Amino acid sequence: MKRTYFLIFIFIGFQLFASNDKYRLTLRGNPATSIVIGWNQISGSNPTVYFGTTDFGTNYNNYPNSKSPDRIVSYKGMNNHFARLTGLQPNTAYYFVIRDSQGTSERFWFKTAPSDNSRLSFIAGGDSRNNRTPRRNANSLVAKLKPHAVLFGGDMTNRDTNSEWREWFDDWQLTIASDNRMFPIVATRGNHEDSNNSVYHLFDVPSTSVYYAITFGNNLVRTYTLNTEISISGNQTNWLRNDLNANTNVIWKMAQYHKPMRPHVSSKSEGNNQYNNWAQLFYEKGVKLVVECDAHTVKTTWPVRPSTGSGSDEGFVRDNQNGTVYVGEGCWGAPLRSNNDNKNWTRNSARFNQFKWIFVDENKIETRTIQVDNASQVGSVSNNNVFAIPSNLDIWNPSNGSVVTINKGTVVDPDPDNGTVDVAISSGNDDVEERENGDLYTNSSDLELVYDSYSNTGYQIIGLRFRGVGVPKNATITNAYLQFTADESNSADAELEIALHNSSNSPAFSNSNKVSNRTTFSSKVTWTPQSWSSNQNGSAQRSPDLKNMVQSLVNKSDWSSGNNLSMIIRGKGRSLTSTSAKRVADSYEGGADKAPRLIISYTTESNPPPPNPCAGVSEWQSGVSYSAGDRVVYQGNLFERTSSGWQFIEACTASRTNTTFVQRVTPPLFNDLVEQTIIHPNPFTTSIHISSSSLILNKANEIVIYNIAGAEVYKANITATMKKEGLVFNPEIKESGIYLLSIFDKNDQIIENHRLIKK
């Protein structure tokens, strides 16, 4: 009898999840406010999507919203249901289940795209046809890299059969992350899709002709999905031209389609129809990145424009200033072909399973080629920082660099060896603490710089290993620094020494290869950091310039772009005698988005421009009370606050050597704007007195106090009868520490912020 009950239980549990499968997300409209949830309904009736911004698990009745399918189509052996969700909040997590007469699905979730021009991440590729191992590898990397969308360039299956499509969607479930987060696909038709219906009926795209465009962000990037399997001239190109003309305000334009204009495999036919209709249009209308598929090889090009003149090759000539970059050519699982048809404008080509990982912000597009064969060994990015490089990610690093960067204003840096690299710690094994007894601590949530009382650690040594540092050999280093995020508040004087491992490709830390055993360059740097407050990530948490030691490294004969380097931090002076003379930073385990970063700026020019002294310095802001030593940028010049006023330091521009006299306007003093605000006593014990010209007489003034975590601990509306007399109030705060006091105006805008200390 017990066995019977057990089998009944298993059967009921199976029914809970077995009435639908083959889940997918697609896009028809604004990705910030809408999405399509698609699935195969196996059995049961009346399926409904229940969803909301709070995670209620599989308790479908608790979700505030529900949506029945907008479209149901029986196709390719599946009962495809599509629920089109609209009116969603931008940049927001939504949780959902599908409930029918037989049970409730698993709880899944997705995040809408931002509605502003925040940075975006895309994965682009195609040709997943008939080799399931690389196809499943690439799918699992989607789950780990968590893009805002997947641009899929067609040829999902080999013969477009029912069984192949069911198998394809089974494999697509690997794109669902371990926490059940899903990511939308923007689907393209390839030549192995026998008709447009294969895409229209299975992905509910917004066009039966399977050419359409979607804008991400406010006006950040408009992605064009085109169809090379129908007539290219005529209606399709007319639509493309009209849409490009109607969207001139979009910062970036990208396109994807299946068959390339100029494939990099000699056996493939030239795409003359695409070339004749689209190449000049892309160039004239500012389409800066095009993703092509079909040839089953790997390629990136230099920026090119259509031309048959001198220096051209197959109808294109390199144009670093205004050209279009073409990448591809589909290797998501289809049989690989040799890259045996390079052009004189080919940047790099190869032959392996891959897709493109694309970052887009207002100033640039970055494209990396990801090799997918080691997918099981790759770490996952955080939901809070999808731009971090996860551990073991295999980024292709050919002769012309691992990142194709397209800059705003110019298509691409004509010399990829100029620029700035920003590398974060990508594994818990790369930020380590070596205790006084030599033991390595590799999984702490913070980094004590350098004293740690935990388990009698003592005055430890910190090792930071940065992988894949893309600085070319013999480049001129113009600036380099470490950037930390404060895990704790520390104000005691501290003294730290930063050194660089003298190795052209620094190996991983281990008990046999510890931090302390590594030889370093002689150009060490001493750092006496300012006070830190928890969660700060600014100039106070930034090291001094480390360019001399980095210069020594990249000048080594065996240094190569993409190698690894290790920074070593020790205590000095007081920080080796006083247990409080330290700083505590977040580690990788404390949050991938808070992990230490290494930022290096470089040039390969023989006469590099002088570094910008204003880099990282904030513009002067009205209403901010500046202290002596604070620096601001004002009208293109750098100023430092002194006890008596503002002192001009230098101009921000590169032409600072010009000695022509220019009358400079200094930033207004705070006293020039308002009378001095006085808060006393500060530190306070019980009551606080505020006198300020910002106070509104005979009306309630809203006072809010926050703790260092940003939580509101006190709020009151207090009336002032005289500005000089001010306000007196008792916030009843019990815990000692640092707080932020804000005064709000009648429009609920902050007019003053002040640091407050409770004894």
Nearest to 467 by CA among 436, 520, 427: 427
Crossing angle between the packed helical segments 162-172 and 132-145, to the nearest 10 degrees: 40
Portions of the chain given CATH number 2.60.120: 423-603
Indicate where the chain has its CATH 3.60.21.10 domain(s): 120-415
pLDDT of residue 393: 95
pLDDT digits (tens, 9 = 90+) for 275-294: 999 999 999 999 999 999 99
Residue 123 φ then ψ, to 5°? -115, 135
Three-class SS state of 549: helix
- Confidence tier at 661 by pLDDT (50, 70, 90): very low
Residue 335, judged by CB atoms within 10 A of its CB (0-12, 13-18, 19+), counts as: exposed
The total of other beta-carbon atoms located within 10 Å of residue 737's CB is: 13
CA gap 329, 342 in Å, rounded: 13
Q: Could you count the other beta carbons within 10 Å of the beta carbon of residue 527?
A: 20
**List of residues 6+ apart from 231 with CB closer than 8 A:** none
Distance CA 273, CA 259 (A): 10
Least confident interval from 94-98, 265-269, 575-579, 704-708: 704-708
Q: Look up residue 279 and give its DSSP letter.
A: I
Q: How confident is the model at residue 676 (pLDDT cuts 50, 70, 90)?
A: low
Q: How far is CA 85 from CA 440, 465, 687, in A?
A: 50, 44, 52
Global pTM reads 0.58
> Residues of CATH 2.10.10 domain(s) within the chain?
612-672
CATH 2.60.40.1930 in the chain, residue ranges: 674-758
| ∠ CA 305-307-310, rounded to 5° | 120
Percentage of residues of the chain with pLDDT beyond 70:
86
Quick one: which of 696, 697, 695 has its CA closest to 679?
Answer: 695
**Residue 16 above 60 pLDDT?**
no
Of 460, 365, 369, 454, the residue nearest 410 (C-alpha):
365
> Is residue 701 pLDDT above 90, yes or no?
no
Q: Which has the closest alpha carbon to 42: 108, 83, 98, 110?
A: 98
What confidence category does residue 708 fall into, taking pLDDT thresholds of 50, 70 and 90? low
> When comparing pLDDT for 576 and 111, which is higher?
111
CB 529 within 8 A of CB 496: yes
Identify the pLDDT of residue 548.
95
- pLDDT confidence bin for 622, thresholds 50/70/90: low
> Which 8-state DSSP code applies to residue 276?
I
What is the pLDDT at residue 55? 97
pLDDT at 42 over 50: yes
Pick the CATH number of 423-603 from 2.60.120, 3.90.930, 3.90.550, 1.10.1740: 2.60.120
Helix (H) or strand (E) holding 727: strand 727-729
Would you state the CATH architecture of domain 120-415? 4-Layer Sandwich (3.60)
Answer yes or no: CATH 2.40.70.10 is held by domain 16-111.
no
Backbone angles phi, psi at 344, to 5 degrees: -75, -10
Q: Comparing C-alpha atoms, which of 163, 146, 152 is closest to residue 128?
A: 152
- Highest mean pLDDT of the ranges 76-85, 388-397, 733-742: 76-85
pLDDT digits (tens, 9 = 90+) for 215-238: 999 999 999 999 999 999 999 999
| 51-54 contacts, C-beta under 8 A, 24 or more apart | 51/85, 51/94, 51/95, 51/96, 51/97, 52/94, 52/95, 52/96, 53/89, 53/92, 53/93, 53/94, 53/95, 54/95
The reported pLDDT for the residue numbered 614 is 72
Query: In angstroms, rounded to a whole number, what is the distance separating the alpha carbons of residues 500 and 567?
Result: 5
Q: Under CATH, to which class is 674-758 assigned?
A: mainly beta
Question: Percent of the chain scored above 90 by pLDDT?
Answer: 60
CB 21 within 8 A of CB 41: no
Compute the residue count for the chain.
759
Q: What is the rounded average pLDDT for all residues in the chain?
A: 87
Lowest-confidence region among 39-53, 197-211, 529-543: 529-543
Examine the pLDDT at 324 and tell me if it is beyond 70. yes
For CATH 2.60.40.10, the residue range(s) in the chain are 16-111
Per-residue pLDDT band for 725 (boundaries 50, 70, 90) equals: low
- For the segment(s) 612-672, the CATH number from 2.40.128, 1.10.3470, 3.90.550, 2.10.10 is 2.10.10
